[in-house]
């Protein structure tokens, strides 16, 4: 199913007047404060967030999976779903593939389809956290860190295969996330596991094309519950540094222990030019993969404050690869992704409102209250009219979820695809 421009414009008619009023009020207020509203709108328009190929069906937990009908059955349908998100928001112009979950069968066909929907191929993700059908060796006790050279070699080769798949699609980066670790004290020798991982990553890195990046994701626990080899940003940073200039750390918001100061991690990595990418989600307890901004929106804003600062002050840090990495157990996956996209753009817009010079002066004067007030003023501004205006300028929907529902998208998908669900496979 495809949504066309006319349908969106038709639907926008009901809210365009209200938006114009809200936008005029907001932009006048901000202009009077010396904010360059047009510059913010432009930056919002340029923000493209990749959708992971694994987030378009209803997720599940280890306790079960519930059906959500009309889910995509194959990669083509997943890309069509991203096309729907992109038509509504013009901010979801990329897909991130997990291999081997989504190996293209027809490369030209998939590229043509993605191209027709203005979707690029973002980072390709390797998967050595599951045993694949027909795999010669098992990753039960680790992949790149395994004590068996043959198992490490199989995992290295898989990553090289993933790079080759990405090359055919026009991807420019490989994301590596390892489940490797131990569930019980004494199970692993920490140093051996780390050394094996470093050496394996270096072998993968050696095959990386010149214009590619390797993004190393960290996570403190799960599926291993005692130790994880790449447990934190420091380990990821160390490994990226050991590999070379094209290797970077990737921050997934859910991959931190409770109360961790993620914004400070972002700042440190950007200062060192080593922040490569981002996986957005939200969490209350662990790697909950909840809708972006649904639990800690102020933290998301503080993270974006550091991102905005870094993008302006750390030219040594490359452009970031943005991706949503969330799971939807109860909601329509597409509606959930629309909510996440909106939350990211709102946090970005609010961070762009911060007067960095004023903040610097207040910091230099140790005027804590003014520092806080500057942040609060930005955070408490209702930026929704700016985000909607940015979308509208590009031909998107003023209210994406409302439009999605008005156009009956899910029912159309059910009509086309039937009541297929990943949960049941029926």
Interacting residue ranges for ligand PSV, rule: CB under 6 A? 54, 125, 177, 217, 219, 252, 279, 287, 325
Element (H, E) at 276: strand 275-280
**How many CB atoms neighbour CB 133 within 10 A?**
5
The entry of ligand PSV, Mn ion, none that residue 346 binds, CB within 5 to 8 Å by partner kind = none
| Under 8 Å between Cβ of 31 and 41 | no
Least distance in angstroms from the C-beta of 339 to ligand PSV? 19
Q: How far is the CB of 5 from ligand PSV (least distance, A)?
A: 33
Measured from the CB of residue 98, what is the shortest distance to ligand PSV in angstroms? 6
* CB 55 to ligand PSV: min, Å: 9
The residue number whose beta carbon is nearest to ligand PSV equals 177
| Binding partner at 122 among ligand PSV, Mn ion, none, C-beta below 5 to 8 Å by kind | none
Among residues 327 and 421, whose Cβ is nearest to ligand PSV? Answer: 327
Residue 80: which of ligand PSV, Mn ion, none does it interact with, CB under 5 to 8 A by kind?
A: none
Nearer residue to ligand PSV within complex by CB, 287 or 336: 287
CB of 73 to ligand PSV, least distance (A): 19
- For ligand PSV, the closer of residues 92 and 349 by Cβ is 92
Residue closer to ligand PSV by CB (options 75, 354) is 75
| Token pair of 336 as six digits | 């959930």
Are residues 53 and 78 in contact, defined by beta-carbon separation less than 8 angstroms?
A: yes
Structure tokens at 312: 């302006």
DSSP letters, 36-94, are -HHHHHHHHHH---EEEGGGSS---BTTB----TT---SHHHHHHHHHHHHHHHS---E
Paired tokens of 145? 């860190």
Our CB check for Mn ion shows the closer of 287 and 332 to be: 287
Smallest gap, in angstroms, from Cβ of residue 103 to ligand PSV? 15
Contact 201, 150 (CB under 8 A): no
Question: Which residue lies nearer to ligand PSV by CB, 224 or 399?
Answer: 224
Q: How far is the CB of 64 from ligand PSV (least distance, A)?
A: 17
Task: DSSP for 170-225, please give it.
Answer: T--EEEE----EESSTTSS-HHHHHHHHHHHHHHHHTTS-TT-EEEEE--SSSS-S
Give the one entry of Mn ion, ligand PSV, none that residue 263 binds, where binding means its C-beta sits below a cut-off of 5 to 8 angstroms depending on kind. none
10, β-bridge pairs = none
Closer of 125 and 171 to ligand PSV (Cβ): 125
* Contact partner, 384, from Mn ion, ligand PSV, none, Cβ < 5-8 Å per class: none
162 or 397: CB nearest ligand PSV: 162
Compute the distance between CA of residue 86 and CA of residue 110 in angstroms, rounded to an integer. 17
Distances 310 to 200, 214, 286, 319, 370 between C-alpha atoms, Å: 31, 20, 27, 10, 22
Q: Which does 125 bind (CB under 5 to 8 A by kind): ligand PSV, Mn ion, none?
A: ligand PSV
Smallest gap from residue 36 Cβ to ligand PSV (A)? 36
Q: Phi then psi for 249, rounded to 5 degrees?
A: -90, 150
Work out how close the CB of 234 gets to ligand PSV at its nearest, in angstroms, rounded to a whole number.
Answer: 18
Would you say 279 or 350 has its CB closer to Mn ion? 279
Give the footprint of Mn ion on this chain (CB under 5 A): 252, 279, 287, 325
Smallest distance from ligand PSV to CB 172, Å: 18
- Among Mn ion, ligand PSV, none, the one that 218 touches (CB under a kind-dependent 5 to 8 A) is none
C-alpha separations of 425 from 28, 70, 102, 167 in Å: 53, 12, 16, 31
Q: How many CB atoms lie within 10 A of CB 296?
A: 16
Nearer to Mn ion, 279 or 389 (CB): 279
Angle among Cα 107, 111, 116 to the nearest 5 degrees reads 155
Concatenated DSSP letters of 92-120:
--EEEEETTTT--SSHHHHHHHHHHTT-E
């Amino acid at each position: 199913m495809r949504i066309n421009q006319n349908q969106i414009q038709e639907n926008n008619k009901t809210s365009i007047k209200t938006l114009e009023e809200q936008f005029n009020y907001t932009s006048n207020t901000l202009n009077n404060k010396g904010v360059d509203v047009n510059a913010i709108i432009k930056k919002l328009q340029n923000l493209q967030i990749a959708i992971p190929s694994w987030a378009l069906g209803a997720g599940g937990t280890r306790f079960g999976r519930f059906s959500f009908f009309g889910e995509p059955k194959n990669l083509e349908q997943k890309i069509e779903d991203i096309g729907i998100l992109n038509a509504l928001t013009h901010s979801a112009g990329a897909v991130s593939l997990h291999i081997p979950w989504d190996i293209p069968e027809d490369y030209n066909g998939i590229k043509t389809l993605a191209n027709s929907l203005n979707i690029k191929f973002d980072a390709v993700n390797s998967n050595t956290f599951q045993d694949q059908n027909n795999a010669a060796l098992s990753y039960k006790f680790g992949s790149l860190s395994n004590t068996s050279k043959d198992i490490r070699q199989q995992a290295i080769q898989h990553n090289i295969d993933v790079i080759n798949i990405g090359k055919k699609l026009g991807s420019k980066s490989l994301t590596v996330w390892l489940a490797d670790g131990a569930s019980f004290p004494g199970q692993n020798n920490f140093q051996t596991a780390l050394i094996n991982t470093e050496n394996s990553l270096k072998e993968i890195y050696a095959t990386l094309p010149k214009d590619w990046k390797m993004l190393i994701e960290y996570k403190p626990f799960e599926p291993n519950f005692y130790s994880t080899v790449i447990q934190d940003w420091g380990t990821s940073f160390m490994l990226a540094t050991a590999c070379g200039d094209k290797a970077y750390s990737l921050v997934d918001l859910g991959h931190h222990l409770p109360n961790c100061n993620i914004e400070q991690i972002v700042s440190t990595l950007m200062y060192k030019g080593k922040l490569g990418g981002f996986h957005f989600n939200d969490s209350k307890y662990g790697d909950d993969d909840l809708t972006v901004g649904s639990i800690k929106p102020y933290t998301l804003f503080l993270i974006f404050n550091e991102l905005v600062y870094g993008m302006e002050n750390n030219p040594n840090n490359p452009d970031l690869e943005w991706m949503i990495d969330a799971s939807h157990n109860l909601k329509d996956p597409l509606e959930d992704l629309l909510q996440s996209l909106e939350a990211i753009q709102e946090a970005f817009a609010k961070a762009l409102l911060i007067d960095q010079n004023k903040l610097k002066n207040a910091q230099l004067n140790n005027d804590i209250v003014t520092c806080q007030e500057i942040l609060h003023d930005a955070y408490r501004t209702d930026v929704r009219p700016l985000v909607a205006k940015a979308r509208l300028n590009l031909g998107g929907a003023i209210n994406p979820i409302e439009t999605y529902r008005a156009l009956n998208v899910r029912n159309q998908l059910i009509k086309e695809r039937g009541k297929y669900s990943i949960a049941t496979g029926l």
